[in-house]
Chain A
Amino acid sequence: MELMKLEIVTPNGVIFDNEVRQVTLPGSEGEFGVLPKHATLVSLLETGVIEIIKADGKKVAVAINSGYVKVDEEKTTCIVDGAVALSGEGTDLAKALNEAKELLKKAESSSTVIAAAVSKVESIGKTL
């Protein structure tokens, strides 16, 4: 399985920095998936959820309010304003879900985008 590097950086520090198989990003022109060896791309990110499939096949989701992404062949860098990670293991999922919803609700986007993002967080919360 081919892997690529993914970094998610917020003003409060790096929240994700690891090898991943695949990542799905909420671009401003629509959601798009990135696999290793993707062509170079720079995009604005909308309020939404970044879905990650890690090297071991586990899924992780990160709720974000807005930001930028820079993709090249071996590395994807997300520069976001605010982010809350949602993962199935270890941490208090219910608390993280609430934090994620709070973050999304405060985002400066249209209410439909926020509503879509919140419902997505909820459905992810059930699957994790």
Chain B
Amino acid sequence: MANLKEIKRKIGSVKNTAKTTNAMKLVSSAKLRRTEELAKRSRVYAAKLTELLNEIAQKMQQANVDGLDNVYFKEVSKPKTVDIVFITADKGLCGGFNAQTIKRVSQLISDYKAQDVKVRLRAVGRKGVDYFKFNDIELNNEVIGLSAAPDYAQAAEFINEIADSYVNGETDRIILVHNGYVNMITQEIKQDQLLPIHPSKLELKETSTSEMEVEPDDDDTLLDALVKRYVEYTMYYSLIDSLAAEHSARMQAMDAATNNAKEMVKSLTVQYNKARQEAITTELIEIISGMESMK
């Protein structure tokens, strides 16, 4: 009898879990829609900015036979220090979303360690911070709360500090790692080199071979402003992209959890019915055998 009660209690609790996970799924899908919209609108801007910067970089490369001379583009062949900026979520319950990013970062660390390169970690998001702290790996920067609500000014402040240390020569490379949004059911780890900027060798349009005027043409005002903007915006866009991916990952995880819970309720109900039938049969046998013995 105690068994019956036990099963009934279990069914109730699993049903409650299903309710919670289902609610979380709905919340995530609503948030995802909003974040996706935001990401879509910022994507055009980010793409244009990158395009413009690439074009300038290519022009500079053409002018300079030995490669680019500017600090923002100059690739160091043997970096001594590398900064890794990575973005994780503040909350869990989103499947392998955070674990994937952490795994990639850990792999990068060991790769660089093997080359005898000093690695400095800059973490955004509680999950990443917690993981590396727990494993006693030093973090140079940590920001919590930014990945759940991307804010341009805050993102700019965070990344500018790191960019400054690059310009000062404290670090030779800045790498940005985040789990990006591909579509509703897919996320993909994205690893970009933020600085120095890689001029993509993809396309050099014929129309752009003409001479380019630059205003203001004194030293590097335009380029400095453009690079600063590019770095800030890339950081901001990565945050949005990561947030969209987080919501889609959570949606998936919660969908799976709800289905599993429903499945479990089904099998528990079968178990409950079986146990009840068994109890009835036992009772009947007792009654009948009692009657038989009276005869």
Q: Is the interface of B mostly helix, strand, loop or mixed?
A: helix
List A17-56 residues whose CB lies under 8 Å from chain B: 27-29, 39-44
Complex contacts, B221 vs chain A, CB 8 Å: 44
Establish whether residues A72 and B208, one from each chain, have CB atoms under 8 Å apart when the complex forms: yes
Instruction: Verify B208–A11 contact, CB threshold 8 A.
Output: no
Interface pair A41/B214, CB less than 8 Å apart: yes
Chain A neighbourhood of B208, CB < 8 A: 40, 72
Q: Let me know if B211 and A40 touch, CB within 8 A.
A: yes
Q: Tell whether A11 pairs with B222 under 8 Å between CB atoms, given A44-B216, A68-B52.
A: no
A73 contacts partner chain B, Cβ-Cβ < 8 Å: yes
Bound: A73/B205 CA distance, A? 12
Q: Which residue of A lies closest to B46 (CB)?
A: A11
Flag A75-94 by CB within 8 Å of B: 1 or 0 each. Answer: 00101000000000000000
For A29, give its contact among B55, B207, B216, B226 (CB under 8 Å): B216
Q: With a CB–CB cut-off of 8 A, which chain A residues contact B215?
A: 27-29, 41-44
Query: What is the minimal beta-carbon distance from A76 to any residue of chain B, in angstroms?
Result: 12
* B131 contacts partner chain A, Cβ-Cβ < 8 Å: no
Give the residue of B41, B48, B213, B226 whose beta carbon is less than 8 angstroms from that of A12: B41
A14 touches B44 (CB 8 A): yes
Contact of A43 among B207, B210, B222, B233 (CB under 8 A): B222
Chain A residues whose CB sits within 8 angstroms of the CB of B99 once the complex forms: none
**Residue interface mask B241-277, A partner, CB < 8 A = 1:** 0000000000000000000000000000000000000
For residue A74, CB closer than 8 A to chain B, the reply is yes
Q: Is B212 among interface residues, defined by CB-CB distance under 8 A?
A: yes
* Closest A residue, CB atoms, query B52: A70
- Could you tell me if B44 and A13 are in contact, using CB atoms closer than 8 angstroms? yes
Q: Are B44 and A9 in touch, CB under 8 angstroms? A: yes
Write 25 A-B pairs (CB below 8 A) sorted by A numbering. A7-B48, A9-B44, A9-B45, A9-B48, A10-B45, A11-B45, A12-B42, A13-B44, A14-B44, A27-B215, A28-B215, A40-B210, A41-B213, A41-B214, A42-B212, A42-B213, A42-B214, A42-B222, A43-B216, A44-B222, A68-B52, A70-B55, A74-B207, A77-B52, A79-B52
Binding site for B on A (CB under 8 A): 7, 9-14, 27-29, 39-44, 68, 70, 72-74, 77, 79
Known: A40-B212, A41-B215, A72-B207. 16 other contacts (CB 8 A): A9-B44, A13-B41, A27-B215, A28-B216, A29-B215, A40-B211, A40-B213, A42-B212, A42-B222, A43-B214, A43-B215, A44-B221, A44-B225, A68-B222, A79-B45, A79-B49
